[in-house]
Amino acid sequence: GNSVTQMEGPVTLSEEAFLTINCTYTATGYPSLFWYVQYPGEGLQLLLKATKADDKGSNKGFEATYRKETTSFHLEKGSVQVSDSAVYFCALTYNTDKLIFGTGTRLQVFP
Amino acid sequence: KAGVTQTPRYLIKTRGQQVTLSCSPISGHRSVSWYQQTPGQGLQFLFEYFSETQRNKGNFPGRFSGRQFSNSRSEMNVSTLELGDSALYLCASSLGRANTEAFFGQGTRLTVV
């Protein structure tokens, strides 16, 4: 079946450091890929998405590129801020609205 | 444009009781999905409703049920509550076309004691 695998957290960084959170997927066909972010005590917010191979999603300095050959959708940001501290979820959908999520990666950014 | 509204935000129930959670989607959205979030199992899909019909269902026991009204508002019900049902229940709304983005509410935190 379809699934998403994320790197284990927490990821701990100093402010202005470079961020990468790895995400790989298993799917039949070509899914749509998403990154969601969850701040403490909140629901999920869509961060970015990509719907076909080689698409790059970007938002608020975050980027992720849909790589079909490596079945990956890694999240990157060039310079993190303390306010980026949150849990990040990689997810996919395939021909439905049902989101399949990874386990989430907690990011902690210190000043 | 108002976002997805879930009520109540917090709920404490006793084992064996039942509970009903409510979700009002974004205006114009016809699809409402429900997810359960726990530390052990992560985010798991419960079910999806589109135009008052259940369109997709996850792998949960029959104690979990839902419905959608003509104004797209949705409710989910859990009967005979168990301690393991303690979780954050998230509702998401979307236009209902495949692969479109979903917008989430803040969730209802259910604690079963």
Yes or no, beta carbons of A100 and B45 under 8 Å apart: yes
Identify all chain B residues contacting A50, using CB atoms and an 8 Å cutoff: none
Instruction: Give the pLDDT score at A81.
Output: 97
Average pLDDT rounded to a whole number, residues B1-27: 95
Instruction: Give the pLDDT score at A29.
Output: 84
Yes or no, beta carbons of A99 and B105 under 8 Å apart: no
Provide the CA B85 distance to its chain's centre, in angstroms: 13
For residue B101, name the pLDDT band (cuts at 50, 70, 90). confident
pLDDT tens readout for residues A20-76: 999 999 998 889 999 999 998 889 999 999 999 999 999 999 999 999 999 999 999
pLDDT at B98 over 70: no
pLDDT tens readout for residues B29-59: 999 999 999 998 999 999 999 999 999 999 9
Average pLDDT rounded to a whole number, residues B13-27: 97
Instruction: Give the pLDDT score at B1.
Output: 62
**Any idea of the CA torsion for A89, A91, A97, A98, to the nearest 10 degrees?**
-90
The answer to whether B77 and B65 are in contact (CB under 8 A) is: yes
Comparing CB atoms, the residue among A43, A98, A102 nearest residue B33 is: A98
Task: Give the mutation candidate from B34, B99, B104, B106 for the A interface (greatest A CB count, under 10 A).
Answer: B99
Task: Give the mutation candidate from B7, B9, B35, B43 for the A interface (greatest A CB count, under 10 A).
Answer: B43
